[in-house]
Structure 1
Amino acid sequence: MSDQAAMSDVSSGEEAGEVCRFWGRLGIPGLIDVHTHFMPERVLRKVWEYFDALGPLTGGLEWPITYRQEEAERAALLREFGVRAFTSMLYPHKPGMARWLNDWAADFARRTPDCLHTATLFPEPDTETYVREAVEAGARVFKAHVQVGAYDPADELLDGAWGLLAEAGVPVVIHCGSGPAPGKHTGPEPVARVLGRHPRLRLIVAHMGMPEYEDFLGLAERYGEVRLDTTMAFTDFTEDFIPFPRRALPRLTDLGDRILLGTDFPNIPYPYVHQLHALERLGLGEPWLRRVCHDNAARLFGLTGTA
């Protein structure tokens, strides 16, 4: 039986205990998850409806959402898991959405102190203005979704915003790989053009850049501020259709200070703890796991103290 299947019937209390035992064994004060989704409830329900309907961007895969609780319950569950800090990844799919999403996210961060204040962007004439406003309001991380937004990250309408974020040192979690289904502007080439103009931009490539894992590892090797998050990578679900190449495992070790824990909670088709088990079974050692699950993000976001 796979790890994913074995966990399928575990209660939330049992799962929280298993998650806490995982990070307790590593001797870290908890987890830092850079890729979790909180957004206006009506928007999140639309996202869930899309997954339920097997929309084209899901690659036609069955994708049952494991954590459909209300917002407060989901945040409380992350705390039970010992997640010290998490994000509210949200994103527009058309012009005119980003500013009000940022307003919602700023309010969510105010009432959720353990959430890293998250913002987003889209190529439109006022992008640089509202990105600057979000940074000045305390945004600590941005989300860019090239696949859903169907835009070129190297669009000149984004150039000023990328420069501003590079100068401010604010990280950007960017879904730019072509998985689970390709988009018009997904893949490494558009991102390479952005980095050519803004080499100090702190991009965090979501999902390890799947399926172009090795190309995005190459960008991280070339640009010292590029990182990758583990979201859904290495899990049974993903290994069935976009396996990570075993030959690239040594590169994960070499980039051990720039790999960050991400999960996609709550929009995952398996229990949260499975992502942790999937990382552990890579066999890259406890020091690597400590960095990935806590220390790298703690350093990036200046988080100190204990849980």
Structure 2
Amino acid sequence: MIIDVHAHAGPWFFSTDVGSVELNLALMDRYGIDRQIVSASEAVTYDMVAGNRWLAEVLQTQPRLLGYVVLNPNDLAAAARELEEYRPTGRFVGVKVHTTYPEQPLLSGAVRDALALAADAGLPVLVHTWDESVLGLVDVLERLPRLRVIAGHMGGPAWRAAVEAARRSDRLYLEPCCSITDRGRFRYALDRVPLAQLLFGTDSTLVDPAIAMGVVLEADLTDEEYEHVMWRNAARLFGIGTGPGATA
């Protein structure tokens, strides 16, 4: 069993073949990924409402995929409406908040308020992290006791800071997908962060899952570590059923 907690669906503006849900499924089959939690690329980069609506339609016909409701911190009223509409469907199991495209720093008041909406809805949040500001998430988590955050990309080049942040809060999770593939990065996290806080993500289809697979397998996981990282922790965090014919 493998659950990928960081993936995307739909076209991006990059010059890569990332436009179809069929590619998501083909890559899942190639790498043995059973379930994948995706955000709509359009919702992340351009139009929150249209992108979430498109993804809701996709999820109706793709049982292997689950969704993140994308929240744009620049329009919190609309973000609240998006949560109200899609949370009850059961097909959206988390929230995605980006920082680059909305041009809101990770520790801005607007991002904090978006995280508070997710906390009130009881949904885990995947947040884009790419510098040492990831350490500030510890304070945000202390102020929002219902909040659970996944540090997307494990802080990117600031992965040591992300590890330190996860050591300070048991509601901060790390997933390793990244174009930064420093040797030993994931083993460094495994040796310092409680196992229950480590997840598997690929950034598919922007990045071939082979990269994240290599980052994780290079860490020479024990059987117990592999089981928890690759699916068990995600199943618990997102409430994903894993038996035959299971749904979220």
TM over 0.5: yes
Alignment-derived partner of residue 226 in structure 2: 289
Superposed CA deviations along residues 72-117 of structure 1, whole A, max 9, x for unmatched, are 24324413533221022234346xx212211111111112111112
8 Å CA contact 2:130–2:156 kept in 1: the answer is yes
1:102 aligns with 2:52: yes
Please state how far the C-alpha of 1:274 moved relative to its aligned partner: 4.4
Identity within the alignment, %: 26
Q: Which has the larger radius of gyration?
A: 1
> Are the aligned partners of 1:152 and 1:190 in contact in 2 as well (CA < 8 Å)?
no
Change (3 A) 1:283 1:69: same
1:129 to 76, 81, 90: 81
2:60 is paired with a residue of what secondary structure? helix
Equivalence for 1:278: 215
Q: Does structure 1 retain, via aligned residues, the 8 Å contact 2:173–2:198? A: yes
TM-score (norm 2): 0.82
Distance 1:246 1:83, change over 3 A: closer
Number of the residue aligned with 1:188: 134
Mind listing any 5+ residue stretches in structure 2 that lack a counterpart?
A: none
Name the residue aligned to 1:37: 8
- Paired position in structure 2 for 1:205: 151
- 1:135-284 correspondence to structure 2 within 5 Å: 135-138=87-90, 139-178=92-131, 187-232=133-178, 238-239=181-182, 244=185, 249-251=190-192, 254-268=193-207, 271-284=208-221
Q: State how far apart, in whole Å, the 2-side matches of 1:301 and 1:168 are.
A: 13
Partner of 1:304: 242
SS of 2:72's equivalent in the other structure is: coil
2:39–2:67 Cα contact (<8 Å) kept: no
Q: 1:82–1:245: structure 2 CA closer, same or farther, 3 Å change rule? A: closer
- Secondary structure, counterpart of 1:78 in structure 2: helix
Question: Which blocks of at least 5 consecutive residues in structure 1 are unaligned?
Answer: 1-29, 50-64, 179-185
Cα distance in 1 for residues equivalent to 2:22 and 2:66: 16
Q: 1:187/1:258 Cα in 2 relative to 1: closer, same or farther (>3 Å)?
A: same
The one of the two structures with greater contact order (alpha-carbon pairs below 8 A, sep at least 6) is: 1
Structure 1 residue identity aligned to 2:185: F
Report if aligned partners of 1:169, 1:201 keep a CA contact under 8 Å in 2.
yes
Q: 1:284 to 1:164 in 2, by over 3 A?
A: same
**Paired residues, what number?**
239
Answer whether contact 2:107 2:133 (CA < 8 A) is retained: no
Q: How many Å separate the matches in 1 of 2:109 and 2:19?
A: 39
The change in CA–CA distance for 1:161 and 1:134 in structure 2 (over 3 A counts) is farther
CA RMSD across the alignment: 2.8
- The answer (yes or no) to whether the contact 2:186–2:215 under 8 Å persists in 1 is no
Distance 1:259 1:246 in 2: 11
C-alpha spacing 1:172/1:275, structure 2 compared with 1 (3 Å): same
The amino acid across from 2:147 in the alignment is L
Q: Deviations over 1:121-145 (max 9, x none)?
A: 1121412232333323332112111
Tell me if the contact between 2:23 and 2:205 (Cα under 8 Å) persists in the aligned partners: no
